Structure formats: C-alpha cells, structure tokens
Amino acid sequence: MTETRVLSYREIAKVFDITVPSARNMVRRQMWHRMPSNDPKTVRVLVPVEEIPVRRPKPDATCDALSNGS
C-alpha cells in the first residue's frame, strides 16, 4: 500500500502549480480516490506521496552575493 496525503482540489492545484480545473482533470485521469469532507462543498483526494513534486527552495539574493565572492 502506498503512502498518501489528503488534499483538496485547491491544495493540489497549489502543490502542482496548476489551475483548479486542471487539478480536477488530473485527479480523474490518475483515478485517485476521492472522498467527501464534512464541508459539503469540499472534496478530499488521496494523493500518492511519490506523485507530489519536490520543491527546491529558490536561492536568496543575499546568498548569491555571498557566493560571488563580493
């Protein structure tokens, strides 16, 4: 059994850097399990952890200045 995270469509859109309609399409295509939450407007999706992209922190401007030897 794979490890999953429970995310809303809005959270999926933010994590994958896509729009909410695109997130809905992706969930449908990938056939990820959907489940209703206590709020009737919100749907939660079980997203496999290995599918979630890894974000690398962007270098800070101060780090660039220090690495140039200035």
CA torsion angle for 12, 17, 19, 21 (degrees, to 10)?
A: -40
Per-residue pLDDT tens over the stretch 11-69: 999 999 999 999 999 999 999 999 988 888 889 999 999 999 987 666 665 655 555 55
pLDDT of the residue at 40: 85
pLDDT of the residue at 57: 67
Match 């992706």 to its residue by tokens.
Answer: 26
Helix (H) or strand (E) holding 52: none
pLDDT of the residue at 37: 86
* Residues 29/12, Cβ–Cβ less than 8 Å: no
